[in-house]
Amino acid sequence: ELKVEQNPLFLSMQEGKNYTIYCNYSTTSDRLYWYRQDPGKSLESLFVLLSNGAVKQEGRLMASLDTKARLSTLHITAAVHDLSATYFCAVLSGGYNKLIFGAGTRLAVHP
């Protein structure tokens, strides 16, 4: 059964600092998604990673995928307050019928 683990679950960062969120999954998958959720809001798609070694960047966020290690990272560069949100990774199941979500990382960026 596919399991997805994110860490840390809570991250308090200073503005301007860098940090990385990790997403490990237990069985082979060919697709990994990153989402952002603001309090009380829906999920906003950030990245879809399709292959080993895939790297995508948008602004201060960069996501990468290592399918051999079953690991994806979401790297935050020079954090700003606007990045405060909960970040979820989700892995496509082997049956291609659902996304299995991690528990989410709640990010708080403060001055």
Distances (CA, A) of 84 to 15, 26, 47, 80, 99: 10, 28, 17, 8, 24
Binding mask 55-94 for other proteins (x = CB under 8 A): ---------------------------------x-x-x--
| 3 binds other proteins per the rule CB under 8 A | no
Q: Nearest distance from residue 50's CB to other proteins, in Å?
A: 7
How many binding residues for other proteins (CB under 8 A)? 22
